[in-house]
Structure 1
């Protein structure tokens, strides 16, 4: 018997975490999937140092009790009609969720206000998890006055011709079909002209000609992706645009007008990803709507993995 796909939702009691719960509930109803709520905590060896050099021990039972209260609130917020399981896990939240993502179809996490370089250096889950997850991750930004862009009616996906972007496009098409959403696929074309082109040793190129070439390639890629999906994509509204600018800037700008941004990632995490400033990391940090980050390693998976350990 085929196992019901599961959405893994990381919660920590914050408003951002509850926004992720709201989004995950809508996604579970749209896809017909189950939800597994996870509250992970890392227990240090000591809580505080006393004046005489001794250490105050932490009462783990109180920490675990608090985690259960967080899960209670999240489960109540999900409402009725969903298949919901839950667990309290010990360990770094990023590591826990990345490991559990091996058996999930989707991970949903919230993003706190702020972000930027400090959060990325400190290893915020919203920045650290997507490059290491084994399934797609949705990062839901904190929204104080509104539900987090649900239902999803407008989706934009980035395309740079890479294998990672093609895999992400397939996920974007599936999401658009499930949500009955309009899909826009965008290729960003950095236009180096005049002195900028010469400084890089490039021959000046007519911008309109370059955009037309990229548009032609984009049309071909999207057409092939839709053909692969087949009849299920027959009624899908898809727009395709080659636009001048950087991918991160364009995706961030689109995020103010759509309900979901879809980007691919090659899985470069850690300090290398931080320094290189990947497009996916930049979009996660600055987007105004939920971001679906699709790892290239998704292509290596067959189905949904083995039995889910929490069921």
Structure 2
């Protein structure tokens, strides 16, 4: 087992979070990572005001017992698999706890949203807050309703726009393709057509086919750099006219994992990414991995000694 590889999963008892556990366990089985299941809950000092104007002290025993049941159910789903699973309960804002611990995790996995019961109290907006602030890649798994399962991951698509954020997303996509033995497609989108977000400022005389050819050339160079040391991975490349978020959401109906950067700045980035990751998260039909600009390999992170529920990292 790779002791330094920990996939952190936030659970709340909702079907979405249990689906995240399933995905994380399948992913961990590919490279020997450990799965750490975590349920975090906030514990206020008082509840609602009583009729006489006083406040009733909150007994957290029932809340903790419920959280323990959530964790036990999640851990039980991994039984029978050749994967090491650890777990813990944490008090605090779930999004904040997961963001803090993401600094020591290899990957964080959550469900799309809470769905009642403990879900509303424990996860809440985690699936939107964590991708924006997490310090390792976050995989957001939508609730599975019909059709084939999300694993094994056989097809991956990644959005590339020339920014540093997108370059890191591409590197992770290449690594994931290698881990899963998956096909990888890199997409660079240029919104030249009419409509919101289009490059309306382009002169009519501009050869749009040449623009796409130039973008494709840049995509080829970026992909070639990312493939260094990964000779077994083949990457298809496409430069397309269209809105990046819409194109990635469309591709999500035909692939098993979409990979995007958390934000973009520089190059074509402001035009192509912008709110792409948020748009993809809102509309994707398959799991989405959001790769932050800073991640585990950054020097500022690797030098830290972080106390975690699974040991020190």
1:284 aligns with 2:281: yes
Which string of whole-angstrom CA distances, capped at 9 and with x for unpartnered residues, describes residues 82-110 of structure 1? 21111100111000000011111000000
Q: Deviations over 1:171-228 (max 9, x none)?
A: 000000000000000000110569x989x5431222211111111111111012112x
The structural deviation recorded for 1:123 is 6.6
Q: Is the deviation greater in 56-65 or in 301-310?
A: 301-310
1:306: how far off?
A: 4.0
1:112–1:146 distance in 2 versus 1, CA, 3 Å:
farther
Cα drift, residue 146 of structure 1: 5.6
**CA-CA distance at 1:124 after TM superposition:** 1.1
Does the Cα contact within 8 Å between 1:37 and 1:87 map onto a contact in 2?
Answer: yes
Q: Kindly tell me: are residues 13 and 147 of structure 1, through their superposed partners in 2, closer, same or farther at Cα, counting changes over 3 Å?
A: farther
Q: How many angstroms apart in 2 are the aligned matches of 1:258 and 1:102?
A: 29
Hey, what does 1:168 align to over in structure 2?
A: 169
- 8 Å Cα contact 1:22-1:147 kept in structure 2: no
Question: Which structure has the highest helix share of the two?
Answer: 1
Contact kept, 8 Å, 1:267 with 1:295, in 2: the verdict is no
Conserved in 1, the CA contact under 8 Å of 2:191 and 2:198?
no
Deviation at 1:134, TM superposition (A): 1.0
Deviates more, 1:279-288 or 1:299-308: 299-308
Cα deviation, residue 234, structure 1: 2.2
**Cross-structure match for 1:273:** none
Is the partner of 1:47 in helix, strand or coil?
strand
Partner Cα distance (1:40, 1:291) in 2: 22
- 2:104 corresponds in structure 1 to 103
TM-score, normalised to structure 1, is 0.86
Matches within 5 A, 1:266-285: 266=263, 278-285=275-282
1:309 matched residue in structure 2 = 308
Aligned positions of 1:172-183 closer than 5 A: 172-183=173-184
Given the superposition, is the C-alpha separation of residues 297 and 125 from structure 1 closer, same or farther in structure 2, using an over 3 Å criterion? same
1:48 to 1:241, Cα distance in 2 relative to 1, 3 A: same
> How far apart, CA to CA, are the structure 2 residues paired with 1:132 and 1:259?
24
Q: Displacement, 1:277?
A: 6.6
The answer as to whether partners of 1:94 and 1:125 remain within 8 angstroms in 2 is yes
d(CA) in 2 for partners of 1:249, 1:287: 9
Bigger mean CA deviation after superposition, 38-47 or 22-31: 38-47
**What is residue 60 of structure 2 aligned with on the other side?**
60
Residue 300 of structure 1 pairs with residue 301 of structure 2: no
For residues 220 and 284 of structure 2, the distance between their equivalents in structure 1, rounded to whole angstroms, comes to 26
Matched, 1:250 2:270: no
Taking structure 2 as the reference length, the TM-score comes to: 0.85
Q: State the secondary structure of the residue aligned to 1:48.
A: strand
Q: Which residue of 2 aligns with 1:42?
A: 42
Q: Distance in 2 between matches of 1:201 and 1:157?
A: 27
CA distance in 1, matches of 2:21, 2:11: 8
Aligned match of 1:89: 90
Q: Which moved more, 1:124-133 or 1:255-264?
A: 124-133
Residue pairs, 1:4-15, within 5 angstroms: 4-15=4-15
Q: How many residues are treated as equivalent by the alignment?
A: 292
Does the CA-based 8 Å contact 1:104-1:304 persist in structure 2?
A: no
Structure 1 residues 135-214: aligned runs within 5 Å: 135-145=136-146, 148-192=149-193, 200-204=200-204, 205-214=206-215
Matches of 2:165 and 2:198, distance apart in 1: 28
Q: CA RMSD of the aligned region, Å?
A: 2.8
Deviates more, 1:65-74 or 1:201-210: 201-210
Indicate how the Cα distance of structure 1 residues 38 and 148 shifts in structure 2: closer, same or farther if over 3 A, else same: farther
Deviant stretches of 4+, over 6 Å = none
- For structure 2, list consecutive stretches of 5 or more residues without a partner in the other structure: 266-272
Contact 1:158–1:186, Cα closer than 8 Å, also in 2: yes
